[in-house]
C-alpha cells in the first residue's frame, strides 16, 4: 500500500504562506490517493493559475499548470487522450468561477470524467487579495475597501443547474472528512466538483480555521439523501445557521468518453500510429 508521501515531489516545497488552507487540500488529496492506492504514474493533476494552482509542481504525478481559468478543457482533453488515467483538476475560486466559469459549466454538463478541486478562499490570493466571485456582498478586500457591491455566486447551485453528477463541499481544516470526500470524488465515474472552504490567512481574516470549525457540520450526520435533488438544493441554499459540508448530490450517468464511439477500441494514447499516413490529407489541403 502507498502512503501520502508516495505522491510528493521531492525537488521543492510549496511556497504557500504558513497556515495556508492549500496545505490541507494538498494533504487531503495525497491521503485520498494513498487510500485508493493510485499509481502516481497513472494520475494527471491539471491546474490553472493561482496560489493553489501551483500544486502540480509539488506532486510526483503527471502535472500540467495551464492558463488562468483553463484547467478544465485541458483536463478533459487529457482524459479523452487516455481515459485510463485518473484526471484531477485543481483551481482557486477565481480560476474556476471567475475567468473559468464558461469551462466550468460545460465540463459539468458534458460529464467530463474529471475530479475538480476548487479552493474557495473568497479572494484572488496570488494577486494580493482582490474579492473573488465567492466573496459575499459587503466583504472588505484590498480591491473593495468599502465592501464588494456584488452578491456572491453559489457554485454548488450552479453545479446543480449544470447537471453536475457529483456535488460536494469540504473544509481544508478537516482532513479526515476532506480526504474521504476527495476519494469518493475520484471513485465517482463522471464530473465531481469538490468546492473546499480554504482559509486564506493573508487576505481574508474573517473566514479562518476557527470560523469554519464553528460554522460547518457534516451532512452525513443529518441523514441527507444524496440522490434527492430537492433535498440537495435545500441544503445548498439554507445558510441560516450552519454550513453543511459533505456530498450534496450524486447520480450515475454516461460520461463524456462513453459517448464517443472512437474510444470503444481503448485509449487513443495506446493506439499504434506507426502505419498511419496522413500525407493524402495534407496534400488535399495544401496550396
Ligand X SMILES: Cc1ncc(C[n+]2csc(CCOP(=O)(O)OP(=O)(O)O)c2C)c(N)n1
Sites of contact with ligand X (CB under 6 A): 49-52, 68, 92-95, 119, 121, 123-127, 132
Choose the one of ligand X, Mg ion, none that binds residue 256, judging by a C-beta under 5 to 8 angstroms depending on kind.
Answer: none
CA distance 247 to 167: 6
Q: Could you tell me which stretch among 100-108, 126-134, 151-159, 202-210 binds Mg ion (CB under 5 A)?
A: 126-134
| Residue 219, Cβ density class (10 Å: 0-12 exposed, 13-18 middle, ≥19 buried) | buried
Judge whether 130 and 104 are in contact, CB under 8 Å: no
By a kind-dependent CB cut-off of 5 to 8 A, residue 195 interacts, out of ligand X, Mg ion, none, with none
Which residues lie closer than 8 Å to 181 by C-beta, 6 or more apart?
A: 28, 168, 170, 194, 245, 246, 247
Per partner kind, with CB cut-offs from 5 to 8 A, the member of Mg ion, ligand X, none near residue 103 is none
Q: Which run of H or of E encompasses 115?
A: strand 115-120
Name the residue whose CB lies closest to Mg ion. 92
Q: How far is the CB of 60 from ligand X (least distance, A)?
A: 21
Site for Mg ion in 139-178 (CB under 5 A): none
Helix (H, G, I), strand (E, B) or coil at 136: coil
Locate all alpha helices (DSSP H) within 36-82, ordered by sequence: 71-81
Give the whole-angstrom CA distance, residue 59 versus residue 53: 12
Instruction: Closer to ligand X by CB, 36 or 101: give it.
Output: 101
Out of Mg ion, ligand X, none, which partner does residue 184 contact, by CB within 5 to 8 A per kind? Answer: none
Binding range to Mg ion, per CB under 5 A, among 83-91, 113-121, 222-230, 278-286? 113-121
**Between residues 38 and 123, which has the closer beta carbon with respect to Mg ion?**
123
21 scored as a contact of Mg ion (CB under 5 A): no
**Binds 73: which of ligand X, Mg ion, none (CB < 5-8 Å by kind):** none
Binding residue for Mg ion, selected from 92, 129, 173, 185, defined by CB under 5 A: 92
Strand partners for 19: none
- Nearest distance from C-beta of residue 49 to ligand X, angstroms: 4
Which partner from the list Mg ion, ligand X, none does 127 bind, CB cut-off 5 to 8 Å by kind? ligand X
CB 260 within 8 A of CB 80: yes
If the CB atoms of residues 86 and 130 are measured against Mg ion, the closer one turns out to be 130
Q: Are 219 and 249 in contact (CB under 8 A)?
A: no
Residues 94 and 106: their CA atoms lie apart, in Å, by 17
Q: Note the residues at the interface with Mg ion (CB under 5 A).
A: 92-93, 121, 125, 132
Amino acid at each position: 500500500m502507498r502512503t501520502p508521501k508516495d505522491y510528493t515531489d521531492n525537488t521543492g516545497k510549496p511556497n504557500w504562506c504558513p497556515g495556508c488552507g492549500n496545505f490541507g487540500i494538498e494533504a487531503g488529496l495525497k491521503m485520498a490517493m494513498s487510500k485508493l492506492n493510485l499509481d502516481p504514474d497513472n494520475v494527471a493533476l491539471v491546474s490553472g493559475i493561482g496560489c493553489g494552482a501551483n500544486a502540480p509542481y509539488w506532486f510526483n504525478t503527471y502535472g500540467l499548470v495551464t492558463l488562468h481559468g483553463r484547467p478544465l478543457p485541458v483536463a478533459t482533453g487529457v482524459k479523452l487522450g487516455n481515459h485510463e488515467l485518473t484526471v484531477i483538476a485543481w483551481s482557486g475560486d477565481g480560476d474556476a468561477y471567475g475567468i473559468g466559469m464558461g469551462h466550468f459549466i460545460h465540463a459539468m454538463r458534458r460529464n467530463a470524467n474529471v475530479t475538480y478541486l476548487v479552493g474557495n478562499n473568497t479572494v484572488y490570493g496570488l494577486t494580493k487579495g482582490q474579492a473573488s466571485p465567492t466573496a459575499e456582498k459587503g466583504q472588505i478586500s484590498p480591491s473593495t475597501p468599502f465592501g464588494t457591491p456584488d452578491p456572491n455566486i453559489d457554485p454548488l447551485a450552479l453545479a446543480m443547474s449544470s447537471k453536475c453528477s457529483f456535488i460536494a463541499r469540504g473544509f481544508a481544516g478537516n482532513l479526515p472528512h476532506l480526504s474521504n470526500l476527495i476519494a469518493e470524488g475520484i471513485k465517482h465515474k463522471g464530473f465531481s466538483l469538490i468546492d473546499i472552504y480554504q482559509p486564506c490567512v493573508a487576505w481574508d481574516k474573517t473566514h479562518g480555521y476557527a470560523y469554519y470549525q464553528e460554522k460547518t457540520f457534516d451532512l452525513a450526520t443529518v441523514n441527507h439523501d444524496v440522490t434527492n435533488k430537492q433535498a440537495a438544493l435545500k441544503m445548498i441554499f439554507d445558510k441560516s445557521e450552519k454550513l453543511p459540508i459533505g456530498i450534496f448530490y450524486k447520480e450515475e450517468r454516461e460520461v463524456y468518453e462513453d459517448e464517443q464511439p472512437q474510444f470503444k477500441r481503448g485509449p487513443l494514447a495506446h493506439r499504434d500510429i506507426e502505419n498511419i499516413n496522413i500525407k493524402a490529407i495534407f496534400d488535399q489541403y495544401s496550396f
